[in-house]
Structure formats: C-alpha cells, structure tokens
Structure 1
C-alpha cells in the first residue's frame, strides 16, 4: 500500500513520540520536496509527551517533515522516529 499525501483540512491519524493521535492537517509546506513535505497538524486532544511524573508537557499543534513513507525525517532525510502520519 502506498502513502497518500494528506491535504490541508484532511483528517489524519498516527503516532507522535509514541502516543496515538487523531487530528486535522492545518498546513502543508512543499519547500522540502523531494525529501518530503512539512505538515502542521492539530490533534483532537492534547498529547502528553513528558516522561516525567513530576511535570506535564502537552502538545496539540505540531509540525513535522514527513517522507513519502508517512514517517517523519530530519532535514537531511534520515528517519527521526518522531511522527507517523496517515489519512484517517
């Protein structure tokens, strides 16, 4: 199955730093082609990303450079394991 690039306004789901999410694409930047596209996503519910029991670090709006596989990459095109994305 090949990756289908979501568009602005599309419902998406995936994984962000080990936490499942659902949300909406709020923006797409094509400046990094052919490596990938930078996606801005607003999660339906904030995701807790802190590993500490002593503090909270919620994320609801995130941005990530997504490769044609649907997985996030760094600026050099290497997988970074931060986010996976798919149409919901």
Structure 2
C-alpha cells in the first residue's frame, strides 16, 4: 500500500497508466486484470472492494493550499492548509501553517508558541480530542 488512496477517477487513471506501461513491455493483461492489480497495490483483495470503500469515503473538509480560520486550543487563528491526508473513513490528518503563532501553554509562567500544527479532524473540521473544558483541540470555521 502506498500513500493516500485517490478517488475513483484517480484509481482508473492509475490503471490506465499501468496498462500502457505493461503494453509497452509486451504484456497486456486486460483492463479488468489491471484494476485488480491496482486494488491489491492499495491493500484491497479486489477492485469491487476498493471501489466500495472509496465510494463511501467522505470528502475532506479542506484542501491543500486553502486559507482557513478557526480555533486551536481555544485560540483563534488564520492560516493555510499545508497537507491533507485521509487516515480512515471520514477522518483526515491536516497540517496548518498559521499566520500568527499560537501559545499552546495555559500557564502564566511560560509559553510554548506554535506556527504549524497537525491534527486529525472529521469531515466537519473538528478533532475528537478535546481540552479539559470539552472544547475540541482544533475547530475549523466553515465558509
């Protein structure tokens, strides 16, 4: 298995490229066989299983390069999405580069400033992890 799994169009494009590469080397296993190879490459037993999983996948709440705002550890922020990666059905690891550093320490005796943060969010842009007062670690604002 290698990296995040593309959408159906991306998977079919992978299959087309693989079939062209195999044809240039003198072998043409056929379209259906290549789809099965793509499925196994991504860790699934067959194309139908992979297609079913990808078809149920929820879209990420943000895209790479998108400007976002929200709260991180209850501090408001604005920034840019550096990376987005699906980690499981409906959950995405995102890395944000913040316009202004955020103090992630709740002590008056010292500070810990962060300009980049990474979190796993759901399709609404909210983390499952929360602070002691119940606020999500990260919440992206919509719109």
The TM tier, using the shorter chain, reads 0.7 to 0.9
The normalised TM-score by structure 2 is 0.51
Superimposed CA distance per residue, residues 17-36 of structure 1 (whole angstroms, 9 cap, x where no aligned partner)? 01000000000111x13131
Structure 1 residue runs of 4 or more that deviate by more than 2 Å after TM superposition:
none
Match of 1:19 in 2: 75
So what's the TM-score if we normalise by structure 1?
A: 0.80
Unaligned runs of 5+ in 1: none
Task: Give deviations 1:50-77, integer Å, cap 9, x for gaps.
Answer: 1111111101100000101221125xxx
Query: 5+ residue gaps in structure 2?
Result: 1-58
Find the counterpart in structure 2 of residue 5 from structure 1. 61
Q: Determine which structure has the larger strand proportion and give its number.
A: 1
Partner of residue 34, structure 1: 89
| More helix by percentage | 2
Establish whether residue 70 from structure 1 lines up as the match of residue 125 from structure 2.
yes
Aligned length: 81
